[in-house]
Amino acid sequence: MFPLLAQEKIKISHLPYLQALTDSSVSIIWTSNNPAIAWVEIAPNDSTHFYKQEREKLFAQQYGFKMVGTVHQVNISGLKPGTTYRYRVYNQEVLKHEGTRVQYGDFAATNVYREQPLKFKTPGPSAEVSFAVVNDIHGKNEVLRNLIKQVDIPKTDFVVFNGDMVDNLLSENQMYGGFMDTAIALFASEKPMYYARGNHETRGSFATAYPKYFPTSSGELYYLFNYGEACILVLDCGEDKPDSDIEYSGIVDMDAYRSQQAKWLEKAVESPLFKNAKYKIVICHMPPFGGWHGSQDIRDKFVPILNKAGAQIMLSGHLHRHIIQKQDQQVHFPVLVNSNVNLIKVQLNDQEGSFKVYSQEGKLVDEIKIKPLN
């Protein structure tokens, strides 16, 4: 299976980051340079040293097998709400696998000896929620750094990537180099990142691998999650032009995909997670206006469902300029379109929800407020 050849010593090639965090579960993703089995060691956030005792090992496994590969996903369940956990990730290289005989190689792990273990905290019942949104970075790491530096990460619950973080997806290294390594260095190993795919993430030969790196609670690229008393609906906009456009070379089927998504959305807005939320926020890379085919399809297929369900605000990007479009007869909620050089900071509490737009320099550009639902 894996020929025994002279090769580079195993290492963690891209450090871990958090995905699909809920009050009781999380997925932790990372990569290694060579094929390996993988696990997470997890410990309570108490005063004990990580090496005080053997910590619980949770393996990357499926169908009863410890999975062997270079992209590692460990799904952890049974966590307690509002609780901080410490963790490290581990790999053991698999050099050769013939029949039932496996030859293992060296180990690689994140450091807990001279450095503090990584941490994450599950959401708990809270009237206050804080998060940030960036979009349309298109591989400009300096812009991403400038925007994230405006965020008080320790006091922020999560970050949303609202699409088009790169121009296209060509390889794992290009994707990480385009934005994910920067995100991991700044926050993503300890603060969750939720991703709404943009139209540019649908482009390139590596685009179909995207879901492998960004798993969701629904198993699809559209999903919802609760944080405190807020429910966030994350929609997948698909492409912006008709499926027949020459740019797509006949490889996309986005109209049918958005119709499939609309059927899911009809059920999602009827779930208690959404219906009982005090804040109902929609994340969708493309706004439901602009005149292009994809935006019109979103307006036709998603907006009537969202109107009926009482969505309060949609956060979008795509247009590379700042726009606040107030509710009208067709769209019953305001749409905040964030530019490609600004950041949205969101604060939700018992009194109001505030959506403030900031520049790279930290200057307040605009603000919109909504009231919590009863």
Over residues 152-165, mean pLDDT? 97
The model's pLDDT over 308-331, given as tens digits with 9 standing for 90+, comes to: 999 999 999 999 999 999 999 999
Quick one: pLDDT at residue 2?
A: 52
Quick one: pLDDT at residue 113?
A: 85
Nearest residue to 26 (alpha-carbon basis) of 112, 70, 87, 71: 87
Residue 282 has pLDDT above 90, yes or no: yes
Quick one: pLDDT at residue 181?
A: 98
Quick one: pLDDT at residue 226?
A: 95
Nearest residue to 175 (alpha-carbon basis) of 149, 218, 214, 145: 214
Over residues 153-162, mean pLDDT? 97
CA atoms within 13 A on the CB side of 11: 5
What structural domains and CATH numbers belong to the chain? Answer: 12-121 (2.60.40.10), 129-370 (3.60.21.10)
Secondary structure of the chain in HEC code, one letter for each residue: CCCCCCCCCCCEEEEEEEECCCCCCEEEEEEEEEEEEEEEEEEECCCCCHHHCCCEEEECEECCEECCEEEEEEEECCCCCCCEEEEEEEEEEEEEEECCEEEEEEEEECCCCCCCCEEEECCCCCCCEEEEEECCCCCCHHHHHHHHCCCCHHHCCEEEECCCCCCCCCCHHHHHHHHHHHHHHHHHCCCCEEECCCCHHHCCCCHHHHHHHCCCCCCCCCEEEEECCEEEEEECCCCCCCCCCHHHCCCCCHHHHHHHHHHHHHHHCCCHHHHCCCEEEEEECCCCCCCCHHHHHHHHHCHHHHHHHCCCEEEECCCCCCEEECCCCCCCCCEEECCCCEEEEEEECCCCEEEEEEECCCCEEEEEEECCCC
Quick one: pLDDT at residue 299?
A: 97
Residue 5 has pLDDT above 70, yes or no: no
Over residues 172-191, mean pLDDT? 98
The model's pLDDT over 329-347, given as tens digits with 9 standing for 90+, comes to: 999 999 999 999 999 999 9
Mean model confidence pLDDT for the chain:
96
Residue 7 has pLDDT above 90, yes or no: no
The model's pLDDT over 38-82, given as tens digits with 9 standing for 90+, comes to: 999 999 999 899 999 999 999 999 999 999 999 999 999 999 999
Strand partners, 233: 224, 282
Strands 335-337 and 313-316: parallel
Quick one: pLDDT at residue 6?
A: 54
Residue 108 has pLDDT above 80, yes or no: yes
Residue 222 has pLDDT above 60, yes or no: yes
The Cβ of residue 259 has, within 10 Å, a number of other Cβ atoms equal to: 12
Question: Exposure of 59 by Cβ count < 10 A (0-12 exposed, 13-18 middle, 19+ buried)?
Answer: middle
Residue 28 has pLDDT above 60, yes or no: yes
Quick one: pLDDT at residue 1?
A: 52
Quick one: pLDDT at residue 47?
A: 87
Residue 361 has pLDDT above 70, yes or no: yes
- How far apart CA 31 and CA 69 sit, in angstroms, is 9
